[in-house]
Structure 1
Amino acid sequence: MIDHMGIGASDFAASRRFYDAALAPLGYVPLMEVTAEETGGYHGIGYGKDGKPAFWLGNDGPRGTGIHVAFSASCRAAVDAFYKAALASGGRDHGAPGLRPHYHANYYAAFALDPDGINVEAVCHAAE
């Protein structure tokens, strides 16, 4: 349903460090960058895999902390690695890795707040 989404950052460099580190264990990497010179002001990084950027980080300021973004993880170890990298790169704890059986029996997730307070999640739906 959703082709891509974007968020803005108040400190683009700090947020880029956070997302570069936190998304790497999930296999999401910067795939495309557009500069302010190219666009007339907007600087953005498109993260994704398989050649398609689906999550964009921009320099156009935070759009609100009511945003929640959940990234798919291939396994529980990737969720754990996401959480560790997120906290090590400026994120704040918003829910340690673990099962959330109130969603479903195999819902394994971790949550971190990015530098602007956006709730970022990594989730694995596999049984193990």
Structure 2
Amino acid sequence: MFDHVKFGASDYAASKAFFLEALAPLGVTLVSEGPPAYGAELAQPHGKVSLCLFETQEKPAHLHLAFTAATRAQVDAFHRAALEAGGQDHGAPGLRPHYHAHYYAAFVIGPDGHNIEAVCHEPEA
């Protein structure tokens, strides 16, 4: 269901340290990190789901939910359905090579302002 969940933290360093320590018994480690405004990605080894956090002073902090899509066609269908359901476009379906070569995603803003994404990590069929 989820590919990743991303949320904001007002004290990025403390939140990152907390989650790394608290989730260490579950095998969760830091797998990537950028500047605090971009944040950190935490996951289990060879995991397909990640927890991401970033620094923000926004209250409530921005929430980003990414759902796994098996195919790029599902990403396209998600985007159409979400717009028809009243979502606001926040990124049309397409490749996001700055994440990785096969990162195909679409983004919408839901009714409460949350960033909702569908992502396929597979190469085009």
TM norm structure 1: 0.50
CA RMSD of aligned residues (A): 1.9
Q: Are the equivalent residues in 2 in contact too, given 1:97–1:110 (CA < 8 A)?
A: yes
Alignment of 1:25-44 (within 5 A): none
Residues 80-114 of structure 1: CA distance to partner in whole angstroms, max 9, x if unpaired? 00000000001000000000000000000000000
Residue type at the aligned position of 2:99:
Y
1:84 equivalent in alignment to 2:80:
yes
Which one of 83, 92, 97 corresponds to residue 96 of structure 1? 92
The runs of at least 4 aligned residues of structure 1 exceeding 6 Å deviation read none
Deviations 1:25-79 (A, max 9, x none): xxxxxxxxxxxxxxxxxxxxxxxxxxxxxxxxxxxxxx83600000000000000
- The 1-side partners of 2:100 and 2:73 are apart by 19
- Among the aligned pairs, what percent are the same residue? 63
User: 2:119 matched to 1:123?
Assistant: yes
Which amino acid in 2 is paired with 1:67?
A: L
Give the secondary-structure state (helix, strand or coil) at the position aligned to 1:103: coil
**Which residue matches 2:42?**
none
2:105 maps to what in 1?
109
How far is 1:118 from its partner?
A: 0.2
Q: What residue in structure 2 maps to residue 73 of structure 1?
A: 69
| Letter in structure 2 aligned against 1:104 | H
> Helix, strand or coil: the match of 1:84?
helix
Letter in 1 for 2:98: H
Distance 1:109 1:95 in 2: 8
* Contact 1:65 1:117 (C-alpha < 8 Å) held by counterparts: no
Taking structure 2 as the reference length, the TM-score comes to 0.51
Query: Which sections of structure 2, spanning at least 5 residues, go unmatched?
Result: 6-58
Contact 1:110-1:122 at 8 Å conserved across structures: yes
Say how many residue pairs are matched: 68
